Amino acid sequence: MNNTTQIIPEILMDAMASYLEKENIKTVQEEDLVSFFTPLFDAQINDLPKSVDYLTEWNDNLNAIEKLKPYIFDLMLLHWFFSFAEEEGFFESAEWEIIEEKSIDLGTELFPLLMYIWECKEEEMEIEIEDYLFNYLMGEDDMEQDQIAVYEPLIKNYALVNEPFNSSKIIKEKNKNSEISEFILPILLLFNHQKNEVDRTKWLHENGDGLEVFIYETIKGINKV
């Protein structure tokens, strides 16, 4: 786990660099990113509620990447989870309750995907889209029907995961108004075991948008830990 907490900042920085390149953003400098995110990664338990405020308030120098904020929060949450999960009573602590209250409008479907990838690595299991959708997500006792409906584009098309990449693009285009539209390509490519990582990455960088590239680079990074 210590290795995970050390590698998450690197994954975030690499994913943001890919986003900036894809979106041709020149106004955000690496030193701005390092300056802004270092306090978040260095935060101690007592600092976490303030860290949520810090992330929410954002930084004017980073306005060009503000749309990434909910996804960045998921990575920060993962980092804090691995940093403090072994602290006795952490998830019953006042700090954690405050985080949950403050972050109710933050976060995306990226966090459960990151947790699934990590749990598979812990159990030395290969990630599989069918397992992710039907066991990990829908197997949760407290998952509501409306939450399940969010994943309908993937539930209906998961069997096509190993088809040529253009099939994934068609699925995404048919579901461009879905609540998880930005996850369709990254998830289908991640779970495509017929193509190698280099081919998957190259194709997405050529055919996806900046947000899809950011998400894919994030989940690919965690999958390689």
User: Using 50, 70 and 90 to split pLDDT, how confident is the model at 4?
Assistant: low
125 lies in the same domain as 87: no
pLDDT band at 195 (very low <50, low <70, confident <90, very high): confident
Do 93 and 142 sit in the same domain of this protein? no
Domain boundary pick from 73, 102, 131: 102
Q: Which residues contact 27 (CB under 8 A, 6 or more apart)?
A: 64
* Of 51, 83, 102, the domain-final residue: 102
Among the three residues 78, 102, 126, which one is the final residue of a domain in this structure?
Answer: 102
CA distance 196 to 123: 23
Are 199 and 150 members of one domain?
yes
Tell me which residue range forms the domain holding 208. Answer: 110-223
For residues 46 and 150, state if they share a domain.
Answer: no
- The letter for the amino acid at 34 is V
pLDDT in tens, 162-194: 999 999 999 999 999 999 999 999 999 999 998
- Tell me, yes or no, whether 98 and 140 share the same domain: no
What angle is formed at CA 57 by the lines to CA 54 and CA 58, rounded to 5 degrees? Answer: 90
The verdict on 21 and 43 lying in the same domain is: yes
Distance between CA 72 and CA 203 in Å, rounded?
Answer: 24
Residue 74 three-state SS: helix
- pLDDT bin (cut points 50, 70, 90) of residue 102 is confident
Residues 131 and 195 in one domain: yes
C-alpha span between 136 and 139 (Å, rounded): 5
CA 118/CA 79 separation, integer angstroms: 12
The Cα–Cα gap between 104 and 118 comes to 23
**Stated length of the chain:** 225
Residue 22 Cα to chain centre, angstroms: 18
Name the domain count of the chain.
2
**Residues in CB range of 23: below 8 A, 6 or more apart:** 64, 210
Alpha-carbon dihedral of residues 140, 146, 151, 155, nearest 10 degrees? Answer: 80
Same domain, 73 and 6: yes
Q: Quick one: 27 and 121 in the same domain?
A: no
Q: Is the pLDDT of residue 112 over 70?
A: yes
Tens-place pLDDT, residues 130-160? 999 999 988 765 556 667 789 999 999 999 9
Domain check: are 62 and 126 in the same one? no
* 60 and 76 part of one domain: yes
Judge if 173 and 129 occupy the same domain.
yes
Average pLDDT, the chain: 89
In three-state secondary structure terms, 114 is helix
